[in-house]
Structure 1
Amino acid sequence: MAASRVNHRVEAALSSEEFSAEQWRVLDYLDENGPCTMSVLAQETGTSGATLTRIIDRLVSRALVYRSADGNDRRRVLVLLSDRGRETADRVRPLVHGATDQGAARLTSDERDELTRLLRRMVAEPADDSSLVSDRADGDG
């Protein structure tokens, strides 16, 4: 429920800039990490290949990103953030942060830090599904 409220706030902030959440994830990833291949971008943003192609096409049409052949392997295509894309990311990021901060407004600074730490840990460590299976088998899950 809380995640849904935060998502609605973020989507409202993005819609004022004519972005979808998926487009923002791609733009934000490129701004934070630099040029990458479509396959890396798909994996890192959790976007399917066909959907990512549509997103990149849309961002290219807005002159926010561009495609370029990899200098080391011309068979590979890199997606890069344009100067306009970087400026847009810098302008939109505070809107997104403001929307997410509203969701965390009831938390103390220490609680927000702890939540951030836990979420990073969840993302960084693969889930150990075997422990879930054994818990269920024991009647605990």
Structure 2
Amino acid sequence: MAPGSVPVPAPRVAGIVDLLDRLDRAVASALAPVTGAEGVSRDGWRVLLMLARGGGRSMGEIAAHTALPAPTATRVVDRLVASRLAFRRTDPNDRRRVLVHLAADGRAVVERVCGRVERDAEAVIGRPATTERAQLAELLEALATAS
């Protein structure tokens, strides 16, 4: 603190903000060992998960979804392609565009990682009832789409 300055009280952290921060760290620590064992970075995982939702994706869509600069997104996709987890194919509707698709090995990685993380989460919190799971999914979807 500079001489003569007055200390400023710490801001009150809203409950939801603190919870989201803690959740982000918990997700990162749950995913890191599992994706790391698969040889996939966190950015690579985000791309694989996006591709697993179906359809080919342009590099612009991938960069926007991952919030990565385009050159970095390209390097991430290059690594996924080199690892045979994804592949590129010309867009059948626009021959000038190239789309990135999930490869069979990539789908297997997504299934293994999701299965492992879900089993680990269930070991900690138990298996929620179908209605609780649906409510949680609905609330998280609302938060994810609001931003």
TM-score range, shorter chain: 0.7 to 0.9
Residues 45-54 or 92-101, more deviating: 92-101
Let me know the Cα RMSD of the aligned residues.
2.4
Give the direction of change, closer, same or farther, for the CA distance of 1:12–1:40 in structure 2 (3 Å limit).
same
- The answer for unaligned runs of 5 or more in structure 1 is 127-141
Local SS of the residue matching 2:88: strand
Give the direction of change, closer, same or farther, for the CA distance of 1:12–1:102 in structure 2 (3 Å limit).
farther
Q: Which has the larger radius of gyration?
A: 2
- The answer for unaligned runs of 5 or more in structure 2 is 1-21
Local SS of the residue matching 2:39: coil
Partner of 2:43: 22
Does the alignment pair 1:39 with 2:60?
yes
Local SS of the residue matching 1:75: strand
Shift in Å, 1:14: 1.3
Equivalent position to 2:75, from 37, 54, 76: 54
Shift in Å, 1:113: 4.0
What is the total number of aligned residue pairs between the two structures?
Answer: 125
Residues 64-73 or 41-50, more deviating: 41-50
Give the direction of change, closer, same or farther, for the CA distance of 1:6–1:68 in structure 2 (3 Å limit).
closer
CA–CA separation in structure 2 for the residues paired with 1:92 and 1:108: 20
Residues 109-118 or 81-90, more deviating: 109-118
Local SS of the residue matching 2:99: strand
Percent identical: 33
User: Could you tell me whether the CA contact under 8 Å between 2:38 and 2:109 is conserved in 1?
Assistant: no
Local SS of the residue matching 1:36: coil
Higher relative contact order (CA 8 A, sep 6+): 1
